[in-house]
Copies of this chain bind each other. A is one copy, B any other.
């Protein structure tokens, strides 16, 4: 298990660094997806399911970012996927320089799709371009249907939203229609994928979209 300790990036031009990283990944034919959510929304569980389901079709790698600990990278490695853990020195987000450092240590040779599992936080990660080709956020049913009102930026910055823990819907007071309306008010283009990584509900649609986006990224 490799762990990389990151420090604050020295550059002031994160947007430029992010764009450069995105172009390099494009040339390598690697789609990087920046996966963002609150703590405990189920990022690692979702990734585990995707890696297992798509392992004959895509070569997937995962860059795990956390303040501390390596439990997530260990779970991903146990599935046989390439994975590396980065620690952010207390910082609540990843930026492009940090992504680059992590990806270089991860080694992307032969990889089609790489996930950056960002810090569990709905605020700071949305403010920094990581160089990813797509931003995807996860929102869990137990978090409630009012989250778009309180953390609008992340909904605006994401191309897709995974609504996780759909199996828990009967036990929570969550209004799906109201949630979708709030999300689309902030971002009319966003794709919403309601899923349960536990029961498999909705995973097929999400995985078909991932396959299609990875293919499009290699073509363009």
A residues adjacent to B (C-beta < 8 A): 38-40, 66-69, 71, 90, 92, 119-124, 127, 140, 142-144, 146-147, 149-153, 165, 167-168, 171-172
Contact = CB atoms under 8 A, between A and B. Distances in A.
A185 to B, nearest CB: 13
28 contacts: A38-B39, A38-B40, A39-B122, A39-B143, A39-B151, A40-B142, A40-B143, A40-B144, A66-B150, A67-B150, A67-B151, A67-B152, A68-B152, A69-B149, A69-B150, A71-B146, A71-B150, A90-B123, A92-B92, A92-B121, A92-B123, A119-B123, A120-B122, A120-B150, A121-B122, A123-B124, A142-B142, A167-B171
Contacts of A39: 38, 122, 143, 147, 150-151
Query: What is the oligomeric copy number?
Result: 2
Contact of A142 (B67, B90, B165): B165
A142 B122 CA distance: 17
Interface centre among A142, A144, A147 (most CB of B within 10 A): A142
